[in-house]
Amino acid sequence: MLDKVIEIGILFDFYGSLLTEKQQEAIQLYYYQDLSLSEIAERLEISRQGVYDHLHRGEEALRDYEVKLGLIQRYNLLKKELEDLEKAINDYKIENKVKNNLIQRVEKIKKHL
């Protein structure tokens, strides 16, 4: 279950704003606030089945967005490439001033990921 929570959390961070408002609310309440289907149903004033449907459709949509857009896959690839670049810079025998400048530039890019 923890793997699913992490998966949905990452997907939601990237694509959550593309979901319907009800799907967003249901996912936030279920995964981030750890509420039960009954508690969410009460808050959203819908049935437990309605909550389940919003969660299920939202999860499917998040996975579908990643399949189609691949933003998480690209993010992970870019992050790994930056880590490899940073390691290579540290391994090369270059002047400290140049090395520090390159490392600072890599760190600046990482902050924008």
What is this structure's pTM?
A: 0.78
DSSP-derived 3-state class of residue 100: helix
> What tens-digit pLDDT sequence spans the chain (113 residues)?
779 999 999 999 999 999 999 999 999 999 999 999 999 999 999 999 999 999 999 999 999 999 999 999 999 998 898 888 888 887 777 777 777 888 888 888 888 77
If 0-12 CB within 10 Å is exposed, 13-18 middle and 19+ buried, where does residue 93 land?
A: exposed
75/85 Cα distance (integer angstroms): 15
What is the distance between the alpha carbons of residues 91 and 18, in angstroms, rounded to a whole number?
42
